[in-house]
Amino acid sequence: MAPPHDGKTAAVFEEESTPERRISSVLFVIAMQTEASPLVDKFRLIEEAESVFPEGFPWVRYYGKYKDLNINIVCPGKDKALGVDSVGTVPASLLTYASVQTLRPDIIINAGTSGGFKAKGASIGDVFVASHVAFHDRRNPLPKRDIYCIGTRQAFSTPNLVKELNLKVGKLSTGNSLDMSPQDAAGIISNDATVKDMEGAAVAYVTDLLKVPTIFLKAVTDIVDGDKPTPEEFLLNLATVSAALDRAATQVVDFINGKSLSDL
Ligand code: SAH
């Protein structure tokens, strides 16, 4: 039988995959540079000089060692024509796939900002861990295709982590728009979501295929069912909420350090 990945023997591979082994490598997938920067500073990461990604791609990787962990942060970078962050599901899923294939992390944290629903208990600056992720902007009424489109997936369960760090838990709904059409709103309600973003369910699609445990850490920049227009509220709160996200992400990494998957 051909040896699995990297020519490792089956025994070694099995040992490395066991949930009892200490986590050694954490990969952050972060859509926006503003969200990533405080964490890059906190973990004292450096930007790689020679990209592991294909030539000409805008994707950015920061790496380094923090405590006992190898940390990588990847961002989809700036759109080549427009110079704005490459947010949304398509860059997020491609970047996640390529990063897992190259970096082989033990665990992924998709960290970022999100819209929150006050009717479900969200406030500006809250940091949520998603229990489930799903899409709200993919529709097909045909049997089974409807369920395929919604694409609900359970996040990696971290009961000890959320208890210890006192993090809020809620469902995350993903779509490719910052605004919310009436049809999106119906999808979000049916997904029972507390927070809404533009990447989570796309990252989950990939990490489910690749079997990499994934935590979704989402900080609330704007209240979707409030009275302020989302783009203004988002921009107003982006810097301070990114700092809150940074604090929570650091606590999560400190908690993970020295532990195995089954401890989380
Ligand atoms: N003007 C911004 C646009 C970013 S889009 C720019 O400079 O590029 C919003 C980003 O924040 C996405 O990555 C998304 O995941 C997250 N986000 C924050 N609030 C959101 C909301 N209300 N709906 C959807 N995504 C939101």
Confidence check: pLDDT of 1 > 70 = no
How much distance in Å is there from the Cα of 199 to the middle of ligand 1? 9
The total of other beta-carbon atoms located within 10 Å of residue 57's CB is 17
108-145 residue pLDDT tens:
999 999 999 999 999 999 999 999 999 999 999 999 99
Q: What average pLDDT does this structure show over 209-219? A: 98
* Distance separating alpha carbons of residues 254 and 231, to the nearest angstrom: 33
Percent pLDDT > 70 in the chain is: 93
192 flagged as catalytic:
no
Task: Give the residue, out of 75, 117, 197, with the most ligand 1 atoms within 8 A of its beta carbon, to mutate for a pocket test.
Answer: 197
**Residue 211 confidence (pLDDT) above 80:** yes
Nearest residue (by CA) to ligand 1, atom 23, is 178
Examine the pLDDT at 16 and tell me if it is beyond 70.
Answer: no
From the candidates 106, 197, 222, 246, give the one annotated as an active-site residue.
222
Nearest to 214 by CA among 48, 28, 33, 64: 28
Q: How confident is the model at residue 20 (pLDDT cuts 50, 70, 90)?
A: confident
How far, in Å, is the centroid of ligand 1 from the Cα of 264?
A: 28
Query: In angstroms, what CA-CA distances link 13 with 4, 24, 251?
Result: 7, 15, 29
Q: What is the mean pLDDT of the segment spanning 48-59?
A: 94
Q: In whole numbers, what is the pLDDT of the chain averaged over residues?
A: 93
Q: Which of 32, 117, 199 for a ligand 1 pocket mutation test, highest count of atoms within 8 Å of Cβ? A: 32
**Is 161 close to ligand 1, i.e. is its CB under 6 Å away?**
no
Q: Which residue has the tokens 């665990």?
A: 107
pLDDT digits (tens, 9 = 90+) for 223-235: 999 999 999 999 9
Distance CA(130)–CA(94), nearest Å, equals 21
What pLDDT is stored for residue 10 in this prediction? 46
Model confidence band, residue 12 (pLDDT cutoffs 50, 70, 90): very low
Q: Write the pLDDT tens digit of every residue in 152-170.
A: 999 999 999 999 999 999 9
Structure-token pair, residue 243? 């700092």
Query: 50 an active-site residue?
Result: no
Contact between residue 185 and residue 173 where contact means Cβ atoms under 8 Å apart:
no
| CB of 111 closer than 8 Å to CB of 94 | no
